[in-house]
Amino acid sequence: TLGVGACTATWVTAAALLTATALREASRARRALCLAPAVLCAATPAPLLGIAVLTVGSAWGPLTWLRDSAAAVSLIWALRFGAWPLLALTFSVRRLPRSPLWAAALTPRTAPARWLRVHAPLLLPALALSWGLVYALAVAEYEATLLVSPPGQTYLAVTVVNEAHYGQGHVLVGFVALQLLVLAAPALTAGVGLWAWRRVARWRKHT
């Protein structure tokens, strides 16, 4: 669950960032046309999305492998929750201040280097929010995950709901605690990494 959720949050956020960047100078009508499918998927009931993914994976030859892999779960999570990072990043990219971007364009750096030095710090809060939102919603998703989970793979949200109906109390408490830990793992990792980075920076400053 943690690995699939993290991978899904990463590629969905990256795709949302690329789309938002491409739509920065687009007209309002074009932005609405591009954002509408994502919002429509987010508004569609989870079981219908799950059935749609299974139907496409069964009916179209090149996608039959989808039914038996974690890619189906990742895809259903992206369809369900991809609208939120797309909306957040579209708003954030359009709100970027122009002056530092114009100044950066005059430097001899390459485009990726300019992006990392100027755009990335300005967009970091929106990127972190988008990633964390997709991750948290994905690892807690139950209805569509139950439908598209491939044979032999069990996801934590499905296990928690099953234990709530058929399991024993102490086992359920353990799984709920595990799910909370999985939800908090990225934030804990980021916090430890930031603390370590500050310690190293402070040590270098005094040496």
Evaluate whether residue 207 is within a structural domain.
Answer: no
| Single-letter residue type at 89 | L
User: How confident is the model at residue 69, as a pLDDT?
Assistant: 81
Q: Rounded to whole angstroms, how far apart are CA atoms 76 and 141?
A: 10
Evaluate whether residue 166 is within a structural domain.
Answer: no
Q: Which residues contact 53 (CB under 8 A, 6 or more apart)?
A: 66, 72, 75, 76, 79, 144, 148
**Token pair in block for residue 203:** 């040590």
Q: Rounded to whole angstroms, how far apart are CA atoms 100 and 118?
A: 7
* Higher per-residue confidence, 158 vs 30: 30
Q: Rounded to whole angstroms, how far apart are CA atoms 34 and 20?
A: 10
pLDDT exceeds cutoff 60 at 102: no
Evaluate whether residue 124 is within a structural domain.
Answer: yes
**Token pair in block for residue 49:** 């999305």
Contact criterion met (CB below 8 Å) for 85 and 38: no
Q: Which domain holds residue 15?
A: 2-148
Q: Average pLDDT in the 75-84 region? A: 91
User: How confident is the model at residue 103, as a pLDDT?
Assistant: 59
User: How confident is the model at residue 105, as a pLDDT?
Assistant: 60
Q: Rounded to whole angstroms, how far apart are CA atoms 38 and 148?
A: 20
Contact criterion met (CB below 8 Å) for 161 and 142: yes
CA distances (Å), 52 to each of 46, 74, 148, 176, in order?
10, 14, 10, 30
pLDDT category at 175 given cuts 50, 70, 90 is low
Contact criterion met (CB below 8 Å) for 13 and 128: no
53 — phi, psi (to 5°)?
Answer: -65, -45
pTM of the model: 0.78
Evaluate whether residue 161 is within a structural domain.
Answer: no
Number of structural domains the chain divides into: 1
pLDDT digits (tens, 9 = 90+) for 105-155: 656 666 666 677 777 788 888 888 899 889 888 888 888 888 888 877 778
Evaluate whether residue 73 is within a structural domain.
Answer: yes
Q: Rounded to whole angstroms, how far apart are CA atoms 28 and 153?
A: 43
Q: Average pLDDT in the 52-77 region? A: 78
Q: Rounded to whole angstroms, how far apart are CA atoms 156 and 121?
A: 34
Evaluate whether residue 174 is within a structural domain.
Answer: no
Q: Domain with 11 in it: what CATH number?
A: 1.10.3720.10
* Higher per-residue confidence, 197 vs 101: 197
User: How confident is the model at residue 109, as a pLDDT?
Assistant: 65
Evaluate whether residue 96 is within a structural domain.
Answer: yes
Average pLDDT value for the chain: 80
pLDDT exceeds cutoff 90 at 12: yes
pLDDT category at 172 given cuts 50, 70, 90 is low
Q: Which of 133, 101, 123 is nearest to 20 (CA)?
A: 123
Q: Average pLDDT in the 167-175 region? A: 66
Evaluate whether residue 118 is within a structural domain.
Answer: yes
